[in-house]
Amino acid sequence: MLVSPSLLSANFANLSSDIEKINQSEADYLHLDVMDGVFVPNISFGFPVIEAVSEICKKPLDVHLMIVEPQKWIERLKDCGAEIMNVHLEACLHLDRTVNAIHEAGMKAGVTLNPATPVSLLEDIIEQLDLVLLMSVNPGFGGQKFIQNTIKKVKELRNLIEKTNSKALIEVDGGVNENTGKLLAEAGADILVAGNYVFKSENILERIHILKMIS
Ligand code: DX5
Ligand code: ZN
């Protein structure tokens, strides 16, 4: 299993210590949650923080933009050192244009779906995507309860990816732990995002290892 710990649950007063642990861990990415207080009812952090994290983090940055008009920030995010730019389908009026612009900027393009957004809306874009991020909680906060309907959506997305020969990876975000992680793996998920499960633990490296071992 690929693992992308979410920095949202880290200690913001001592980010460098938590990032050092991520560097030493088996994590495959570092997940960064940007919130604008408009698309979601919360504000997290923005580009100066991503830039600072990028300077010390050895893992590729998997950036999840919970913001309106994400297309305005493609170049800015590229300059911050992001590897993957995830935009919400619900925030993009011209999704095809935005995905093309992300690729032109040299990043991998991910499209994120809220829990109530059906997988079928990806039919006409799936072949162009590097990743689909399925939200298994309503975005905006860490530490929420996993929405079980996500399992069905992962299976539907796996079928769509196989049918279209898309190379897109399936990433799931929200309420992930060793139990929900197993169900997601069985359903066909490739990447697990985990905030609370990893950073609110005494042993960050062990929690990442447990998720990593899920097959
Ligand atoms: C929620 C964020 C998540 C969050 C997950 O809006 O997108 O990445 O950090 O946190 P947990 O794993 O605690 O549910
Ligand atoms: Zn996220």
Mean pLDDT, rounded, of the chain: 98
Model confidence over 106-125: pLDDT tens digits?
Answer: 999 999 999 999 999 999 99
Ligand nearest to the CA of 207: 1
Q: Which atom of ligand 1 is nearest to the CA of 200?
A: 13
Whole-model pTM: value is 0.98
Kindly list the distances between the CA atom of residue 86 and the CA atoms of 10, 26, 133, 171, 203, in Å, as whole numbers in the listed order.
20, 22, 7, 11, 28
Model confidence over 123-168: pLDDT tens digits?
Answer: 999 999 999 999 999 999 999 999 999 999 999 999 999 999 999 9
What integer is the mean pLDDT of 16-41? Answer: 98
Q: Which atom of ligand 1 is nearest to the CA of 196?
A: 13
Where b means 16+ CB within 10 Å and e means fewer, 85-99 reads: bbbbbebbeebeebb
Banded pLDDT at 105 (limits 50, 70, 90): very high
Q: DSSP strand E in 107-213: where?
A: 108-113, 131-135, 169-173, 191-194
Model confidence over 43-65: pLDDT tens digits?
Answer: 999 999 999 999 999 999 999 99
What integer is the mean pLDDT of 6-27? Answer: 98
Looking at the chain, the whole-number percentage of residues with pLDDT higher than 90 is 100
> Which pLDDT belongs to residue 146?
99
Catalytic member of 18, 33, 62, 130: 33
